[in-house]
Amino acid sequence: MSTLKKFGMGKVFLQETILAEIQDIFVIIDKQKCKALNIKGLLTHGLSNIICGFAFGERFSHDYEEFQDVVNLIEECFTLGSHDSWITIFPLLRFVPIKSMRGNYKQFSKNFKKIFNFAKKLVENHKQNLDGSEETRDYIDEFLRQTDIDKKANKMDSTFDMDQLITSITNLFIGGTETTSTTLRWAFIFMIENPECLQKCQTEIDEYIESANISTDMIQMTDKPFLPYLQATILEIQRCANIATLGGSTMHRNLAATTLAGYNIPKDTYIAANFYSVHVDGRVFPHPDKFDPTRFLSDDLKSVQRHPAFIPFSIGKKSCPGESLANMELFLFISNFLRRYNFNVPNQSSQINSKIFYTTSLTRAPHDYQISFVNRNNDNNNNNDNFKNVPIGA
């Protein structure tokens, strides 16, 4: 984790990598000329490239078929996984020759192995291209450097080996892409379902840019403190999306017997936190089914207030190590998408419904949908009326 932080995990200088991926996505979207598309693949590809940026020090174009295949496998892994699979509770069932008992374990394992082999090839190529200098360029260089140090010291209990490196890279790909991609897809849904919130976000962005005389093409992290309503909207998106319903299928176990709320929990019990129930608890979040960003704002609506029950990344020592990176990605992606585009979903009623059109597997993800993006700047050049007043949905 310290190595990830060193090479950008959550640090401001990583924003250049993130913004470059966003701009690349914008180029592809603009070529569509408002034609509807499934945004999932573009988002997952861009977010995977961000992982590649600090892991390998390189990125892959959207035309690179092998990398696109890996992106598709990552998406499928989250579709195949399931909280309610019997194999999650009884792992031995993976050996039972009855598909209904094994669930999708076999296909999931096959996909994971392909992603693992792709990461292995990248690591091997990277190792061959080491220049021998003491300066480390990225996560892999730092890992290999520590491996060499432990080897020379004859450290028998070292966890720095090739299998661990490749596994950690594979986990970065799987855990660091689809979760944020899913949250972003929920973001578009909530903005379409709540056009008044979209309009408030865009008005706040426009007024800030005008008052601060911002000349850059992209909103950056330094702009975040001046956009409280947008920040609150992103928090409400995360609360309502509730993607990690049972801790993202991350199981923990207690190392000693304990008692919690009157319940005796034996040692080595597998535990999954029910994040979903916390985020829809009306005692903490009144009218939890309502999308209301102001619940995260102060009474004067000028500052953001996060409730301690807001735990999309868990809490404590076992909280998600990628939280700072994910928060940076969410702010930069959502702010720049809202600044640049308005959204339209053809046949909206048959594609968009946050209450029923979703699937819960490893994450709580919306059904695929087709969405078109209309550049607000282009429209303003052709229309004296601000596009923010044009209806959002089809």
The binding site comprises: 320
Looking up tokens 């961000």 gives: 50
Please list, in sequence order, all residues whose beta carbon lies within 8 angstroms of the beta carbon of residue 244, skipping any fewer than 6 positions away: 179, 275, 312, 313, 314, 363, 364
H helices of the chain, where?
2-6, 15-31, 40-55, 65-80, 86-89, 99-102, 105-128, 139-152, 162-175, 178-193, 195-212, 228-241, 275-279, 323-340, 348-351, 376-382
Whether 75 contacts 178, CB under 8 Å: yes
Please list, in sequence order, all residues whose beta carbon lies within 8 angstroms of the beta carbon of residue 295, skipping any fewer than 6 positions away: 232, 236, 285, 286, 307
Tell me how crowded residue 127 is: count the other CB atoms within 10 A of its CB.
13
Tell me how crowded residue 75 is: count the other CB atoms within 10 A of its CB.
21
Phi, psi angle pair for 138, to nearest 5°? -160, -175
Whether 208 contacts 227, CB under 8 Å: yes
The binding site for heme comprises: 320
Whether 3 contacts 316, CB under 8 Å: no
In whole angstroms, how far apart are CA 135 and each of 96, 115, 147? 50, 28, 15
Tokens linked to 239: 């609360």
